[in-house]
């Protein structure tokens, strides 16, 4: 009985709203003055909390060290200078080399490209085979992948070092890229598989009757339908690989370490006086590529991280 | 055009057997309709023929070829799907071409066939559109076109009209029938719609619960249903099925309904004469009743029944009379129906030789 | 004898992924388990002394660093659990107050696109005692505030928790918004007409309806906490002393600093067990949800 009244009342309310837009506007106004305002103020304060680190890092990177030593961390720079940025990019020391972050930047790019190609092509084909073709052991394999998706690198770190070393790629750019592809394969496969699972069975049946070729159907029918998920996974993987530290530091050699490792070395192993403006400029330089991706295609980024999180 | 044979087909999913020792043969050029309610196994059977579902046991022959273990594309089949299953990223032309270029046909041949199909189905102006830019009827035509270009020996249809509205459905029914008459392929067509079955088929296999209940021409199925399921499934409005008992008086066989009315049954061709008192079910098609007011001298049964209500369906009308606990449906002239009043007692007659009799226990035709 | 390519081709296509799974994951896990029973130091030594096969685990049990790491894991888990609560509050507010929705979402989520190393560097700078937040607060009159968390063993973990919350709240917010959007919108109208207060509506109706979203968040958080390494490295590098060690840090430390492969493997196996303990409820939850979806 209550349920019924509730539903009827709700239906009535919707009808009422539709008939009298004026009443609705008035209610919204009252809302803004009261609770809505409080909510907006709270949200704005939270937004400030989220923005503070970015603000502090950015202003510090534009100050001189004398100004920083005055301890006015929230103040805007008196003299704006890009000197710290230039220094971080060109001259800052990471470990024993002092060639700046640009080394790490280009290493990161050189790691990113092959690891994207490897991981996405492997995950895509595997997800396609698991979702759209009949394979008897697909269920077992999916469960294994689900499990592997959550295995921390530490647990398999030494064996992976031994394997890459025996393959001769340990300490190389390719080695880092391969380990990235391996570590991300389970999650990416599950994402592709869940996407392909929603392709109507009849389309696959039609394609199987028309061609029957696994690769031809993939190339001509499925790949053209994968645009959205491809962008989502691409962004997910770009941020993952770019932001990774552990794989880079473990599998990269002296000259093949990615930007995050360079940055960490630069700020933790400080010889002489710390140059906070340079540190902050370096941190920002490292953060800029994924942030640009995020602000350009945020919608896909959100889809990517939530898809990567809850899959099975 | 080859024939198609299902031989001792078994299909089991784990412990559940959905088809058990099923046998069915279609002659070349036949238009076979697999008809039955949903879940009766008709789509499973079709998918096994197509190669999309594995056969647990038994074999499938197309002509002289055993295709049981062949890949779908090697079976010489083409299929039209319920949801059309057009490739969304390809144009109409791309959809028609895909199967042909996959078969590595020469480019000129592909072009010729695609043009031919476009012409036959009158979809030439649509060739460069994508499926999302087509109406339901147009998609259906493209789906049929995609099957036709393959010049397959056997065409399969899986409920192809069920997503269309009533008017288009009638149109496409005629279209498919026309194509069959012109090109004469062997067709296996799955539907739950008896009108489609009756209008298009040369042979119908009525299925229920994984078992073929009856296999025959549309007329055979309609006129002499093999059991109660077929009798009740085929025909709209449905056949009147009324419980009765066999009596014999003066050597003449008759049925006595539970309400006491009798019907003469000595014109019925019994497979074996039933014994006295045997419970049976008498089936009477609504359109076989003599119209109210017609002479009833030769009728097998004459019934005086109160009218419950009448129903007009355009060109036709159905009257419902109270009979025992249930209703008796009969066809009446629409003009006549308008004059009938609810509650009024109507005298109707059922002619000789038209009844269908079934054993009440087994449901089989007597 | 005919070969059905539609059966074989997909299996061939799956081989690389299967090989990766069996070698790089399954095989490597067993490799590590095996190593944990050996006395391997810098290089693997595959002899197992059966009289003392559990010695690495016994040592682990007595290692103060390891128990610190376990405690810190729990502290970090509970502490960054606040990110779920925070994320829910943000999601609920954004969801009801549509104004500025996309702006706030963008702001709350951007830390997720930033490397944890960068996050650590930024927060360490803010928490710098002589030039950071504390100095500013002291100057404007709050003489007694103490934000020198990173230098003290008993507060350094809080700094890491703070940075984690900053980094991950947006993520839980995104999951929560997805959960809230799946709730029938008529419930809100119905509640308003019934005069139910917003608090009661959330506590009695909305939160119970979202229990699976919360559970998913909690499991994901736990799995993330187990992996936590970058943030610790960038904020404190395990210090001061061993006060911010976590298992993920412990394993790397045993491997690269102590050069003790057998010991590191034993710690890694413990990490695996912890992961499995969290993973199991996730499997059950997923199975349960699938069954529920199938039943509907």
Q: What is the ipTM of this complex?
A: 0.88
Is the pLDDT higher at A35 or at B244?
Answer: B244
Q: Of the residues B226, B253, B287, which one is the last residue of a structural domain?
A: B226
Instruction: Give the span between the Cα atoms of B33 and B187, in whole angstroms.
Output: 8
Distances (CA, A) of B107 to A281, B63, B92, B115: 60, 29, 17, 12
- pLDDT digit string, tens, across residues C33-64: 998 888 888 888 877 778 878 888 888 888 88
Identify the closest residue of chain A to C194 by CA–CA distance.
A6
Tell whether B53 lies on the interface with A, counting CB pairs under 8 A: no
3-state helix, strand, coil in chain A (%, to 5): 75, 0, 20
H-run or E-run covering A234: helix A227-243
Q: Burial of A239 by CB count in 10 Å (0-12 exposed, 13-18 middle, 19+ buried)?
A: buried
Assess contact for C217 and C85: CB atoms under 8 A. no
Task: Please indicate, yes or no, if residue B94 is contained in any of the structural domains.
Answer: yes
- Would you kindly state where each structural domain of chain A is located, as residue ranges? 102-309
Nearest to A283 among C20, C121, C282 (CB): C121
Tell whether A56 lies on the interface with C, counting CB pairs under 8 A: yes
Question: CATH number for the domain including C250?
Answer: 1.10.3720.10
> Does A206 contact B81 at a Cβ distance shorter than 8 Å?
yes
Nearest to A213 among B84, B89, B102 (CB): B102
How many CB atoms are closer than 10 A to CB C192? 15
Query: What 3 state SS string does A114-180 have?
Result: HHHHHHHHHHHHHHHHHHHCCCCCHHHHHHHHHHHCCCCHHHHHHHHHHHHHHHCCCECHHHHHHHH
Instruction: Give the span between the Cα atoms of C116 and A213, in whole angstroms.
Output: 44
* CB interface of C with A, residues 61-90, below 8 Å: 90
Residues B259, B177: one domain? no
Residues B320, B285: one domain? yes
Point out which residues pair with A97 in neighbouring strands. Answer: A94
Give the domain extent around C241: 64-295
Q: What is the CATH number of domain A102-309?
A: 1.10.3720.10
Tell whether C50 lies on the interface with B, counting CB pairs under 8 A: no
Task: Please indicate, yes or no, if residue B365 is contained in any of the structural domains.
Answer: no
Task: Please indicate, yes or no, if residue C253 is contained in any of the structural domains.
Answer: yes
Residues B103, B200: one domain? yes
- pLDDT digit string, tens, across residues C178-228: 888 888 778 878 887 887 887 888 888 888 888 888 888 888 898 889 988
Task: Please indicate, yes or no, if residue C57 is contained in any of the structural domains.
Answer: no
Best of B99, B113, B162, B163 to disrupt the A interface (most A CBs within 10 Å) is: B99
Task: Please indicate, yes or no, if residue B231 is contained in any of the structural domains.
Answer: no
Residues B165, B287: one domain? no
CA angle B176, B181, B187 (to 5 degrees): 60
> Residues of C with CB below 8 A from B69's CB?
2, 4
Report CA torsion sign: B132, B167, B313, B332. negative
Residues B29, B71: one domain? yes
> Residues of A with CB below 8 A from C216's CB?
309-310
Best of C16, C17, C120 to disrupt the A interface (most A CBs within 10 Å) is: C17
> Does C10 contact A239 at a Cβ distance shorter than 8 Å?
no
H-run or E-run covering C103: helix C101-109
Give the domain extent around B314: 240-359
Residues B245, B212: one domain? no
Q: Is the pLDDT of residue A164 over 90?
A: yes
Q: Of the residues B226, B260, B282, which one is the last residue of a structural domain?
A: B226
Identify the closest residue of chain B to C8 by CA–CA distance.
B71
> Residues of C with CB below 8 A from B71's CB?
2, 4-6
Please report how the helices A83-90 and A102-132 are oriented relative to each other, as an axis angle in degrees rounded to 10: 70
Task: Please indicate, yes or no, if residue C77 is contained in any of the structural domains.
Answer: yes
Whether the pTM exceeds 0.90: the reply is no
Share of chain B above pLDDT 70, in %: 99
Tell whether C6 lies on the interface with B, counting CB pairs under 8 A: yes
Cβ contacts from B onto C, under 8 A: 11
**N-term to C-term CA, chain C:** 44
Residues B90, B204: one domain? yes
Residues B137, B248: one domain? no
Q: Is the pLDDT of residue B296 over 80?
A: no
> Does A207 contact B98 at a Cβ distance shorter than 8 Å?
yes
Please report how the helices A227-243 and A298-309 are oriented relative to each other, as an axis angle in degrees rounded to 10: 80
Question: CATH number for the domain including B82?
Answer: 3.40.50.300
Instruction: Give the span between the Cα atoms of B214 and B204, in whole angstroms.
Output: 8
Domains contained in chain B, number: 2
Instruction: Give the span between the Cα atoms of C171 and A56, in whole angstroms.
Output: 23
Give residue A114's pLDDT. 95
Residues B180, B219: one domain? yes
Residues B46, B152: one domain? yes
Domains contained in chain C, number: 1
Give residue A6's pLDDT. 31
Task: Please indicate, yes or no, if residue C35 is contained in any of the structural domains.
Answer: no
Task: Please indicate, yes or no, if residue B297 is contained in any of the structural domains.
Answer: yes
Residue written as token pair 């024993």: A96
Task: Please indicate, yes or no, if residue C12 is contained in any of the structural domains.
Answer: no
Tell whether A27 lies on the interface with B, counting CB pairs under 8 A: no
Give residue A312's pLDDT. 34
Question: To the nearest whole angstrom, how far is the Cα of A218 from the nearest Cα of chain B?
Answer: 12
Tell whether B13 lies on the interface with A, counting CB pairs under 8 A: no
Contacts of A185 by beta carbon, 8 Å cutoff, 6+ apart:
A119, A122, A123, A126, A145, A148, C17, C20, C21
> Residues of B with CB below 8 A from C2's CB?
69-71, 74
Identify the closest residue of chain B to C1 by CA–CA distance.
B69
- pLDDT digit string, tens, across residues C232-246: 988 888 878 888 899
> Does A154 contact C104 at a Cβ distance shorter than 8 Å?
no
């Amino acid at each position: 009985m209550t349920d019924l009244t509730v539903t009827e009342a709700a239906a009535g309310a919707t009808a009422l709203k539709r008939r009298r837009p004026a009443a609705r506007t008035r209610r919204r106004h009252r809302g803004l003055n009261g609770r809505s305002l409080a909510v907006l103020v709270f949200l704005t304060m939270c937004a400030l909390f989220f923005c503070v680190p970015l603000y502090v890092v950015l202003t510090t990177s534009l100050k001189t060290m004398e100004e920083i030593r005055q301890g006015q961390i929230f103040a805007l720079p008196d003299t704006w200078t890009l000197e710290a940025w230039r220094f971080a990019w060109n001259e800052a020391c990471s470990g024993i080399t002092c060639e700046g972050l640009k080394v790490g930047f280009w290493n990161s790019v050189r790691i990113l490209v092959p690891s994207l190609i490897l991981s996405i092509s492997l995950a895509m084909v595997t997800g396609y085979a698991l979702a759209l073709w009949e394979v008897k052991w697909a269920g077992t394999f999916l469960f294994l992948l689900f499990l592997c998706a959550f295995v921390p690198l530490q647990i398999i770190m030494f064996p992976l070092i031994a394997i890459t070393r025996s393959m001769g790629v340990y300490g190389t750019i390719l080695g880092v890229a391969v380990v990235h592809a391996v570590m991300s394969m389970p999650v990416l496969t599950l994402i592709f598989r869940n996407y392909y699972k929603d392709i109507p069975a009849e389309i696959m049946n039609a394609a199987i009757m028309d061609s029957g070729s696994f690769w031809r159907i993939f190339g001509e029918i499925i790949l053209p339908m994968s645009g959205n998920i491809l962008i989502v996974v691409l962004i997910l993987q770009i941020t993952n690989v770019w932001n990774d530290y552990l794989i880079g530091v473990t599998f990269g050699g002296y000259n093949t370490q990615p930007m995050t490792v360079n940055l960490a070395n630069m700020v933790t192993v400080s010889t002489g006086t710390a140059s906070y403006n340079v540190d902050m400029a370096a941190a920002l330089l490292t953060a800029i590529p994924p942030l640009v991706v995020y602000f350009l295609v945020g919608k896909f980024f959100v889809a990517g991280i939530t898809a990567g999180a809850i899959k099975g | 055009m080859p024939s198609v044979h299902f031989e001792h087909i078994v299909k089991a999913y784990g412990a559940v057997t959905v088809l058990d020792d099923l046998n069915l043969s279609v002659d070349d050029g036949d238009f076979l309709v697999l008809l039955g309610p949903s879940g009766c196994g008709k789509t499973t059977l079709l998918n096994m023929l197509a190669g999309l579902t594995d056969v647990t046991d038994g074999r499938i022959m197309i002509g002289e070829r055993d295709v049981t273990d062949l890949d779908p594309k090697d079976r010489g089949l083409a299929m039209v799907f319920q949801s059309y299953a057009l490739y969304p990223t390809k144009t109409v032309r791309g959809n028609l071409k895909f199967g042909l270029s996959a078969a590595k046909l020469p480019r000129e041949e592909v072009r010729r066939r695609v043009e031919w199909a476009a012409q036959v189905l009158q979809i030439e102006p649509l060739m460069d559109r994508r499926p999302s830019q087509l109406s339901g009827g147009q998609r259906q035509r493209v789906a049929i076109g995609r099957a036709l270009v393959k010049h397959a020996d056997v065409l399969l249809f899986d409920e192809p009209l069920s997503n269309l509205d009533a008017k288009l459905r009638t149109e496409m029914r005629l279209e498919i029938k026309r194509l069959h008459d012109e090109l004469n392929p062997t067709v296996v067509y799955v539907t739950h719609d008896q009108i489609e079955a009756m209008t298009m088929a040369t042979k119908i296999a009525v299925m229920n619960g994984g078992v073929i209940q009856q296999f025959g021409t549309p007329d055979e199925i309609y006129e002499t249903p093999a059991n109660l399921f077929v009798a009740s499934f085929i025909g709209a409005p449905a056949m009147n099925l009324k419980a009765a008992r066999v009596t014999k008086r003066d050597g003449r066989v008759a049925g006595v309904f539970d309400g006491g009315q009798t019907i003469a049954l000595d014109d019925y061709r019994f497979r074996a004469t039933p014994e006295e008192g045997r419970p049976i079910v008498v089936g009477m098609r609504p359109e076989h009743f003599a119209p109210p007011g017609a002479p009833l001298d030769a009728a097998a049964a004459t019934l005086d029944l109160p009218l419950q209500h009448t129903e007009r369906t355009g060109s036709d009308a159905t009257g419902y009379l109270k009979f025992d606990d249930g209703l008796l449906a009969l066809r009446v002239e629409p003009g006549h129906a308008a004059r009938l009043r609810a509650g009024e007692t109507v005298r109707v007659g059922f002619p000789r030789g038209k009844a269908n009799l079934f054993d009440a226990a087994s449901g089989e035709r007597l | 004898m005919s070969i059905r390519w539609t059966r074989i081709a997909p299996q061939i296509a799956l081989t690389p992924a299967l090989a990766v799974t069996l070698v790089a994951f399954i095989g490597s896990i067993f490799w590590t388990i095996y190593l944990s029973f050996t006395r391997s130091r810098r290089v693997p030594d595959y002899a197992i002394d059966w009289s003392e096969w559990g010695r690495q685990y016994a040592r682990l049990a007595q290692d103060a660093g390891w128990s610190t790491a376990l405690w810190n894991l729990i502290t970090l888990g509970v502490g960054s659990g606040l990110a779920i609560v925070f994320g829910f509050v943000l999601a609920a507010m954004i969801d009801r107050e549509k104004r500025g929705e996309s702006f706030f979402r963008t702001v709350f989520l951007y830390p997720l696109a930033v490397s944890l190393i960068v996050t650590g560097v930024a927060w360490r700078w803010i928490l710098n005692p002589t030039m950071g937040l504390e100095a500013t607060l002291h100057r404007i009159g709050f003489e007694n505030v103490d934000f020198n968390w990173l230098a003290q063993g008993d507060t350094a973990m809080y700094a890491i928790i703070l940075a984690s919350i900053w980094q991950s709240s947006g993520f839980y917010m995104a999951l929560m918004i997805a959960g809230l959007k799946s709730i029938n919108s008529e419930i809100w109208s119905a509640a308003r007409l019934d005069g139910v207060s917003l608090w009661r509506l959330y506590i009695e109706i909305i939160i119970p309806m979202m229990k699976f979203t919360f559970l998913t968040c909690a499991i994901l958080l736990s799995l993330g906490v187990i992996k936590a390494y970058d943030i610790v490295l960038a904020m404190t590098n395990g210090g001061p002393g061993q006060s911010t060690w976590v298992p993920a840090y412990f394993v790397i430390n045993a491997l690269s600093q102590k050069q003790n492969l057998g010991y590191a493997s034993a710690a890694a196996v413990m990490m695996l067990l912890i992961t499995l303990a969290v993973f199991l409820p996730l499997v059950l939850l997923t199975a349960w949800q699938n069954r529920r979806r199938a039943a509907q």
